[in-house]
């Protein structure tokens, strides 16, 4: 066990001060700033981390690299909310201030236990000094670390739980993103890993005291599915257990796995700590920008998911970067199980942001101007096809067998994406100033993407034999 080095307190303060100075000097009103999405104040955001509700407060941490609009020395940024309408921006919760996390405080999770809030994360250390240094296979340390806090804002004690040499010897140095939860009388942790033979898997650890962790299982698919599984998560929905992860190295197949990396889940049947089977992988999302989601249960028992509204190693020329910030988090979604698959429904609290409702019954075609940030719900009441044009050049079509999304310049000129869909009853579109999230049939299929429509020209056109359209302007959250 290693405890905090006193010099790191000085380092932490310096890092936080530098971060605050940059945050103060960044224009928070620039074009593309979202109305109802979380974004970094300055610099770069990636995965959501440490999602939890403790007392009344929901904590939303995120991978945060404030000094550049690309991933760098990642910290944990921190927002809190009690109602998903009012948010507090807090100072970074974790900084890279120890030898064992000196090249980045990477992704992980949170757990409240006996009045203490624990954060579990990966301390990234690049060992360029080593002869066998190689970014992908060797020469990194991925330490599994626990930090503690009494007030949920200041995290001091850092304890290393697992070093590279503690992981199985047939793994590369890529072992990261601890997700910890209480499982019966003990605690469970899953970690994403890359084997030396380039197969992705999940390690399952167990602990009775949150400090000593024992390897209990290694989980992978029957046939190799990518070389690395990032950001694992494991949870039950209505009695069905799911293993969620973000695999890298999966080849595109007809309409599937179209992004550089994927995010999805398998049903995990059998014993998490013993014999198990994994069902076929299902993608969470079919848009261009969705990755590394994480879930937690709130006090009402809802399983809430938030994803990174972005994609690693992909720059499609996202325009906000010239204003000194990059990326968003998705809106929170409540998960449900239906026929062995996961449905994602927008968190109902967001309805409080609705204003200026319009309701229209569409016969053949309806068109209107929209605000820069709006929600539209479309119910298809007759016919076997639908075409929705949104923003300046976003097009969503359903032809009775596929739901297809196409973008022009506002979607960074990216090719189309689609998903098979035999039945379409309902669509919800959440359009913000620089993103769109589309939920079909109560979240049976979802498309999430950055989308930069010209607010002055933004229109919604619905073409269908018959449909009902509800449209709301979305008020900014505060």
- Active site residues per annotation: 47
Q: Should residue 143 be labelled a site residue for ligand FRU when binding is judged by CB under 6 A? A: no
Binds ligand FRU by CB under 6 A, chosen from 107, 144, 418, 433: 107
In the complex with ligand FRU, the residue whose CB is nearer, 224 or 312, is 312
Note whether 96 binds ligand FRU by CB under 6 A.
no
- Among 165, 167, 212, smallest CA distance to 187 is for 212
Q: Say whether residue 201 binds ligand FRU (CB under 6 A).
A: no
Beta carbon of residue 341, minimum distance to ligand FRU (angstroms, whole number): 24
Residue of 72, 224, 249, 312 that binds ligand FRU (CB under 6 A): 312
Q: What are the structure tokens assigned to 170, written together?
A: 């047939």
Is residue 231 a contact point for ligand FRU (CB under 6 A)? yes
Q: How far is the CB of 281 from ligand FRU (least distance, A)?
A: 17
Q: Where are the beta strands (DSSP E) in 75-219?
A: 75-81, 87-94, 105-113, 116-126, 140-149, 158-162, 171-183, 186-195, 200-207, 214-219
Which residues 395-454 are close enough to bind ligand FRU by CB under 6 A? none
Query: Distance between CA atoms of 60 and 110, rounded to whole angstroms?
Result: 10
The minimum distance between CB 76 and ligand FRU, in angstroms, equals 10
Min separation Cβ 291 and ligand FRU, Å: 6
Query: Are 330 and 348 spatial neighbours (Cβ–Cβ below 8 Å)?
Result: no
Residue found under tokens 């301390």 = 123
* Torsion region of 104: left, alpha or beta (phi above 0 gives left; psi -120 to 50 gives alpha): left
Told to check if 263 binds ligand FRU by CB under 6 A, we report no
| Dihedral of alpha carbons 51, 289, 451, 33, sign | positive
How many residues line the site for ligand FRU (CB under 6 A)? 15
Member of 47, 98, 320, 432 binding ligand FRU (CB under 6 A): 47
Residues 18 and 126: their CA atoms lie apart, in Å, by: 23
In the complex, the smallest distance separating the C-beta of residue 176 from ligand FRU, rounded to whole angstroms, is: 5
For residue 320, state whether it binds ligand FRU (rule: CB under 6 A): no
Token readout for 263 is: 């995010």
Q: Which of 8, 63, 370, 434 binds ligand FRU (CB under 6 A)?
A: 63
Whether the CA torsion 218, 272, 50, 350 is positive or negative: it is positive
75 touching ligand FRU, by CB under 6 A: no
Task: State in angstroms the smallest separation of the CB of 88 from ligand FRU.
Answer: 23
Q: How far apart are CA 464 and CA 354, in angstroms?
A: 25
Which of 42, 53, 96, 122 contacts ligand FRU by CB under 6 A? 122
Q: Please identify, using beta-carbon distances, which residue of 63 and 449 lies nearer to ligand FRU.
A: 63
Taking the least distance from each CB to ligand FRU, the nearer of 263 and 458 is 263
When asked if residue 233 is in the footprint of ligand FRU (CB under 6 A), the reply is no
Task: Give 106 or 407: the residue with its C-beta nearer to ligand FRU.
Answer: 106
Q: Give the closest residue to 436 by CA, choosing from 472, 461, 410.
A: 410
CB-wise, 47 or 97, nearer to ligand FRU? 47
Report d(CA 370, CA 457) in Å as an integer. 8
Burial class (CB in 10 A: 0-12, 13-18, 19+), 85: middle
Q: 74 or 96, CB closer to ligand FRU?
A: 74
Minimum distance between the CB of residue 149 and ligand FRU, rounded to whole angstroms?
20
Euclidean distance between CA atoms 165 and 298, whole angstroms: 35
Report d(CA 288, CA 262) in Å as an integer. 10
Which 165-184 residues touch ligand FRU, going by CB under 6 A? 176-177
Minimum separation from the CB atom of position 116 to ligand FRU (A): 23
* 58 or 176: CB nearest ligand FRU: 176
* Residues 94 and 76 sit within 8 Å (Cβ to Cβ): yes
Helix (H, G, I), strand (E, B) or coil at 188: strand
Q: H or E segment at 6?
A: helix 6-25
Select from 201, 230, 285, 375 the one that contacts ligand FRU (CB under 6 A): 230
We find the least distance from the C-beta atom of residue 128 to ligand FRU, in angstroms, to be 18
Q: Is residue 101 a contact residue for ligand FRU (CB under 6 A)?
A: no
Structure tokens at 457: 């020209």
Give the chain's largest Cα–Cα span: 70
259 bridge partner residues? none
Compare residues 327 and 392 and give the one whose CB is closer to ligand FRU.
327
Site string for ligand FRU, 272-301 (x = CB under 6 A): -------------------xx---------
Task: Name which position in 12, 42, 46, 258 contacts ligand FRU (CB under 6 A).
Answer: 46
CA dist 188 → 19, 121, 176, 210, 415 (Å): 34, 14, 15, 9, 41
- Cβ nearer to ligand FRU, comparing 71 with 411: 71
Asked if residue 23 binds ligand FRU (CB under 6 A), the reply is no
Residue 385 burial (CB count, 10 A):
13
The residue ranges that bind ligand FRU (CB under 6 A) are 46-47, 63, 71, 74, 106-107, 122, 176-177, 230-231, 291-292, 312
């Amino acid at each position: 066990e290693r405890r905090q080095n006193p010099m790191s307190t000085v380092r932490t303060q310096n890092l936080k001060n530098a971060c605050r100075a940059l945050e103060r000097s960044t224009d928070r009103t620039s074009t593309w700033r979202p109305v109802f999405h979380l974004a970094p104040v300055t610099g770069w955001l990636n995965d959501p981390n440490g999602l939890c509700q403790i007392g009344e407060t929901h904590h939303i941490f995120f991978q945060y690299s404030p000094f550049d609009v690309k991933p760098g020395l990642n910290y944990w940024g921190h927002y809190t909310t009690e109602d998903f309408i009012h948010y507090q921006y807090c100072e970074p919760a974790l900084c890279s201030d120890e030898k064992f996390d000196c090249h980045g405080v990477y992704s992980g999770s949170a757990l409240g236990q006996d009045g203490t809030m624990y954060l579990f994360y990966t301390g990234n250390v690049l060992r360029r000094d080593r002869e066998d240094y190689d970014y992908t296979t060797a020469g990194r340390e991925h330490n599994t670390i626990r930090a503690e806090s009494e007030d949920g804002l200041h995290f001091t004690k850092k304890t290393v739980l697992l070093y590279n040499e503690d992981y199985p010897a047939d793994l590369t140095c890529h072992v990261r993103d601890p997700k910890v939860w209480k499982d019966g009388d003990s605690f469970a942790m899953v970690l994403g890993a890359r084997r030396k033979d380039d197969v992705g898997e999940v390690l399952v650890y167990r602990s009775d005291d949150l400090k000593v962790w024992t390897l209990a299982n290694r989980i992978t698919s029957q046939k190799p599915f990518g070389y690395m599984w990032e950001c694992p998560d494991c949870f039950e929905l209505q009695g069905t257990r799911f293993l969620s992860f973000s695999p890298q190295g999966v080849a595109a197949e007809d309409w599937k796995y179209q992004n550089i990396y994927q995010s999805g889940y398998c049903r995990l049947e059998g014993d998490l700590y013993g014999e198990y089977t994994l069902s076929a992988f299902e993608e969470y999302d079919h848009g261009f920008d969705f990755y590394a989601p994480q879930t937690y249960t709130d006090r009402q028992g809802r399983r809430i998911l938030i994803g990174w509204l972005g994609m690693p190693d992909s720059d499609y020329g996202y325009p906000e970067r010239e204003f000194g910030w990059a990326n968003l988090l998705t809106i929170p979604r409540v998960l449900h199980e239906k026929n062995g698959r996961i449905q994602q429904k927008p968190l109902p609290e967001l309805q409080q942001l609705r204003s200026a409702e319009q309701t229209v019954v569409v016969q053949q075609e309806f068109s209107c101007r929209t605000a820069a940030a709006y929600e539209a719900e479309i119910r298809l009441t007759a016919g076997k096809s639908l075409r929705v044009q949104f923003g300046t050049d976003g097009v969503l079509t359903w032809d009775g067998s596929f739901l297809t999304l196409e973008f022009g310049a506002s979607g960074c000129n990216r090719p189309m994406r689609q998903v098979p869909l035999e039945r379409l009853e309902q669509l919800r579109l959440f359009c913000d100033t620089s993103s769109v999230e589309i939920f079909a049939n109560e979240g049976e299929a979802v498309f999430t993407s950055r989308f930069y429509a010209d607010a002055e020209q933004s229109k919604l056109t619905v073409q269908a034999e018959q449909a009902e359209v509800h449209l709301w302007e979305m008020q900014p959250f505060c």
